[in-house]
Every structure is written in structure tokens, then in C-alpha cells.
Amino acid sequence: MHQKDRQLTNTGQLPALVADFLAEFGALEKRVTALEETALRQRTVLMKRAEGPTPALLSLGDATQLLGVSRSSLYRMIREGELTRVHVGRSARLTRVSVEAYLATIQTNGADSNEAL
């Protein structure tokens, strides 16, 4: 055992450091799992769309699946101008361009925050 290890063990700091490490690791593991689930949902929706022509407009249900957010979160994103809603008759739709732009933004921001790690 190295002298520094003995010092940490003797002062009782080692258990606290291990606990901090495990907590941070657990948080990162949850984040990776959430990102993997979102990516899977996005792939599923995109694969369904790949079977036919790509529509310029998405239903709100398709957009919630693609983005992995709740309907209320989707409405908040529309109110805040992050997504563009259009009306076709009585139906509300989101432009595919705005959804793809939002995905590109969060992927860019996610890459920036991962570089900080």
C-alpha cells in the first residue's frame, strides 16, 4: 500500500471519495441510458418514415416520440419558439425542419457538455 493510500485510509477520506465516485458514476450511467433510449426512439420513428416519402410535417404524437418528450413539454417548446407549429385544417402539425434543427441543437449542446467531462 502506498503512503498516500495509507493517509487516505487513516483519515477516513477514502470511503467518502469512493462514495462520491460511485454517485457520479451512477448519474453518468443514468444519463447514458436515457440518451440511448432517446436514440432508439428516434431511430424507430425514422425507420418508419424511411419506408415511404419523408413528410414535411409531423403529427404532435410522432414528434413526441421522435424527441422523447411529453406532450406538455412539446407544447412548451412550441410556446418558446423552439419548434414551429402549423395548422392544416383543424390539425396541428410541426415542421420537420424545426424538429431536425432542434435535434441538431441538442446534439451540438450535448457534445459540448460531454467534452467538458
The yes-or-no verdict on residue 57 having pLDDT over 70 is yes
**What are the residue boundaries of the structural domains of the chain, listed by start?**
1-53, 55-117
Q: Is the pTM of this model over 0.85?
A: no
Averaged confidence pLDDT in the chain:
81
- Coil, strand, or helix at residue 26? helix
Write down the pLDDT at residue 82.
92
The yes-or-no verdict on residue 73 having pLDDT over 60 is yes
Closest CA to 14 of 27, 33, 1: 1
The verdict on domain 55-117 having CATH code 2.20.25 is no
Residue 98's alpha-carbon distances to 37, 42, 81, 95, 102, in angstroms, are 22, 15, 10, 5, 6
Q: Which of the four pLDDT bands, split at 50, 70 and 90, describes residue 117?
A: very low
